[in-house]
Amino acid sequence: MNERFGARLCLGLFVASLLLLPIFPLFLPPFVGPVVSTACVTLAHIILGLFYYFRPARDLRVGLCALLGAASWATWVWCYWEEYSAQMSLPNINIAGLIAPIATLLTILFLSSDSLKFGSTSRGGKRYFAVGVAFMVLVLVEVLWTFLFQEQNAEPTMSPDMASLATVIILRAAPVILTVVTWAIALSTQDKKPRRLLIGAGALALLSFFIPFVTAFSAVFAFAAWANTRVKH
* DSSP state letters, 159-171: -HHHHHHHHHIII
Separation of alpha carbons 165 and 159, rounded Å: 10
* Domain spans in the chain, listed from the N-terminal domain onward: 1-100, 119-233
One-letter amino acid identity for 110? F
pTM confidence score: 0.58
Query: One digit per residue, pLDDT tens: the chain, 233 residues?
Result: 567 777 778 888 888 888 788 888 878 888 898 999 999 999 999 999 998 888 777 778 888 889 988 998 999 999 899 889 988 887 777 777 878 888 888 888 777 766 555 444 567 777 888 888 888 788 778 777 776 665 545 555 667 777 788 778 888 899 999 999 999 999 988 888 889 989 999 998 998 888 777 887 888 788 778 767 654 44
Output the CA–CA distances (angstroms, integers) from residue 195 to 71, 130, 163, 191, 226, in the order listed: 39, 15, 36, 6, 11
Separation of alpha carbons 224 and 22, rounded Å: 21
Separation of alpha carbons 80 and 90, rounded Å: 9
Separation of alpha carbons 6 and 159, rounded Å: 48
Buried (b) or exposed (e) across 83-116, using 16+ Cβ within 10 A? bbeeeeeeeeeeeebebbbebbbbbbebbbebbe
Separation of alpha carbons 99 and 182, rounded Å: 30
One-letter amino acid identity for 66? A
